[in-house]
């Protein structure tokens, strides 16, 4: 029973992306690999095992750009199922956060990213953005998302479910 449960529920990838606005500009990167290589994208990446969503996006932005941020609210969720030749059907979840700029100047990591910059919003149409990043920016500018709430499960629930960390947005 357990192995069946795991096989039906374990094939998920969770990625995070960040909208970081600062002084009328948005933080964007260019990836060195993948389908969007050479296009401007929102910074982000995959959530590591045991990591919260908010700490994952803060880490990814720092790694890819050198910019310190804080997740303010969850603004968008994209879900798709796609077929992987070596793994079968994968449930792929991408969660985008509004981020508060905390400091630092954008610098590409030269491993995953070739460029990292703050681009003025009024100049965004001059840049070759990935389709999804373009859509998210156009749709979400000046819109608020779901904030991180202060709810924490009680001690009994945390112990019964062996909860290591917990986040609730709403």
Cα gap 146→136, rounded to integer Å: 15
pLDDT at residue number 33: 92
Catalytic annotation present for 115: yes
What is the gyration radius of the CA atoms in the chain, in angstroms?
A: 17
pLDDT of residue 10: 65
Do 106 and 116 touch, CB atoms closer than 8 A?
Answer: yes
State the catalytic residue, choosing from 100, 112, 115, 167.
115
pLDDT per residue of the chain (170 residues) written in tens, 0 to 9? 445 555 666 678 899 999 999 999 999 999 999 989 999 999 999 999 999 999 999 999 999 999 999 999 999 999 888 777 776 778 889 999 999 999 999 999 999 999 999 999 999 999 999 999 998 998 887 777 888 888 888 888 888 888 877 888 87
User: What are the structural domains of the chain?
Assistant: 2-145 (3.90.79.10)
The reported pTM is 0.86
């Amino acid at each position: 029973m357990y192995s069946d449960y795991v096989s039906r529920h374990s094939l998920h990838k969770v990625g995070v992306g960040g909208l970081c606005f600062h002084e009328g500009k948005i933080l964007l990167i260019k990836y060195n690999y993948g389908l969007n290589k050479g296009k401007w994208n929102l910074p982000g990446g995959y959530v590591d095992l045991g990591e919260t969503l908010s700490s994952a996006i803060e880490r990814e932005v720092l790694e890819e750009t050198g910019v310190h941020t804080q997740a303010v609210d969850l603004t968008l969720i994209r879900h798709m199922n796609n077929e992987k030749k070596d793994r079968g059907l994968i449930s792929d979840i991408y969660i985008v956060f509004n981020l508060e700029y905390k400091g630092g100047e954008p610098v590409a990591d030269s491993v995953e990213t070739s460029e990292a910059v703050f681009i003025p919003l009024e100049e965004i149409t001059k840049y070759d953005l990935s389709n999804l990043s373009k859509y998210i920016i156009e749709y979400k500018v000046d819109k608020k998302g779901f904030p991180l709430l202060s709810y924490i499960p009680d001690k009994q629930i945390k112990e019964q479910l062996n909860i290591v960390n917990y986040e609730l947005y709403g």
